[in-house]
Amino acid sequence: MRKVLYIIFLICPGLVSAQTDSVKLVQTFKEFHQDLVKKNTVSINQQTDKALSYGHSNGWIENKNELIGHLESGYMKYLSYAEDSIHISFNGNLANARFIADIKGEMNSIPGNYHLKVLEVWVKKGKRWILFARQAVRG
């Protein structure tokens, strides 16, 4: 009986940690998407890696400076961003988040509604999750 309890106590902290990371990551990436809508470039700067690769469904790829610059200039506007069917996988300090996104936005003043399948790669640095890469395809 003691062995069983000992094994349970060894396993439980790992399960709690994984749940905590999952909840924290979902909260972080939802905040990031809403920061795109709000054009909160200060927060976006903190939530993204300096080597960010941000891929759009049309094949266009932005780096961190381009993403922030396009939001600041109004070239790219996110009017709404909603996630569904979220699935997260962890591997050490890396996580990939796959989800369906419904995005309403404008690019160069041309409006669009997008139903996308998105993959985001997040890296845990210290206690924070940072977006490293994103790729979307039309779904």
Name the amino acid, one letter, at 42.
V
No. of H helices and E strands in the chain? 3, 6
8-12, 89-93, 94-98: segment of lowest average pLDDT = 8-12
CA dist., res. 53 & res. 63, Å (int): 5
Structural domain boundaries of the chain? 2-138
* Four-way CATH pick for 2-138: 3.40.50.300, 1.10.579.10, 3.30.9.10, 3.10.450.50: 3.10.450.50
Give the pLDDT score at 1. Answer: 55
Give the pLDDT score at 130. Answer: 98
Is the pLDDT at 106 greater than 90? The verdict is yes
For 17-26, the pLDDT digits (tens) are 555 888 899 9
> Which pTM value belongs to this model?
0.84
Q: Contact at 8 Å (CB) between 130 and 120?
A: no
For 39-86, the pLDDT digits (tens) are 999 999 999 999 999 999 999 999 999 999 999 999 999 999 999 999
Give the pLDDT score at 16. Answer: 46
Give the pLDDT score at 15. Answer: 46
